[in-house]
Amino acid sequence: MSEEVKDFSHLKLNSWLLAQCESMGLKKPTPIQQNCIPQILTGKDCIGCAKTGSGKTLAFALPVLQKLCEDPYGIFALVLTPTRELAFQIADQFAAIGKAINLKKCVIVGGMDMVAQGLELSKQPHIVVATPGRLADHLDSCDTFSLQKIKFLVVDEADRLLGGHFDEQLKKIFAALPKQKQVLFFSATMTDALGKVQQIASDKVFTWQEEDD
Ligand code: ADP
Ligand code: MG
């Protein structure tokens, strides 16, 4: 079943974000963007599943940036992703959209200087994009920043992050976050771990899963 995809102006996004999408040549939201963005904007947690290349990054980046403009304060959003490469790709998409608001973002991944990263974190970036291992190292060793005021936690590639391999680091990271926050899971597949999240989640969670072709 193919559903009609309307243009970006139907998503309740602010005009500066619409202008930014247009300037980037984006014409129509992908199905996951069309379905998840309005729900995230109403304050819901979200589990969104769709295959690789379906535009999951903007499905969370656009509503996070809209909310950031309403209430900018300290580190606003933490995005976790399993690999360095993905972290840089996500940060680039945030930067492209966030150009108009002088977005400050910071990438925290392994293989780079801890001290320089600690300094970046201390400058209160709006968005931190991190791999779990290196962020957990910073939480262990560095008191120059706090994640206590974040408003959004994004778990990108949640099928991979919640697969068990990252459990120890995730436990440490989740313990450093405030209780009250919006949590957005995006994944290529609905795994058992995500299914569990869905089961224990409250009515506040919107789940959207792409149908198979
Ligand atoms: P996923 O995370 O689902 O694998 P990405 O968010 O990385 O996918 O997006 C894949 C590509 O599609 C990126 O190059 C991105 O810029 C592009 N893209 C995202 N949304 C749209 C859209 N609405 N219209 C056209 N291209 C888009
Ligand atoms: Mg992705």
Q: For ligand 1, say whether the CB of 58 is within 6 Å of any of its atoms.
A: yes
Q: Is 34's C-beta closer than 6 angstroms to any atom of ligand 1? A: no
Instruction: Answer yes or no: is the C-beta of 29 below 6 A from any ligand 1 atom.
Output: yes
What residues of the chain score a pLDDT lower than 70?
1-5, 202, 213
> Is the confidence metric ipTM above 0.95 for this complex?
yes
Centre of ligand 2 from the C-alpha of residue 116, in Å: 27
> Distances in Å between the alpha carbon of 172 and those of 25, 67, 164, 165?
40, 26, 14, 14
* pTM exceeds 0.90, yes or no: yes
The alpha-helical segments, DSSP class H, found in 71-157 are 84-98, 114-122, 132-141
CA distances from 201 to 73, 85, 177 (A): 27, 30, 18
Residue 202 has a pLDDT of: 67
Q: Enumerate residues with CB within 5 Å of ligand 2 (an ion).
A: 56
What DSSP designation does 181 have?
A: -
Model confidence pLDDT, tens digit, residues 44-90: 999 999 999 999 999 999 999 999 999 888 899 999 999 999 999 99
Q: What's phi and psi for 198, nearest 5 deg?
A: -65, -40
What percentage of the chain reaches a pLDDT higher than 90? 80
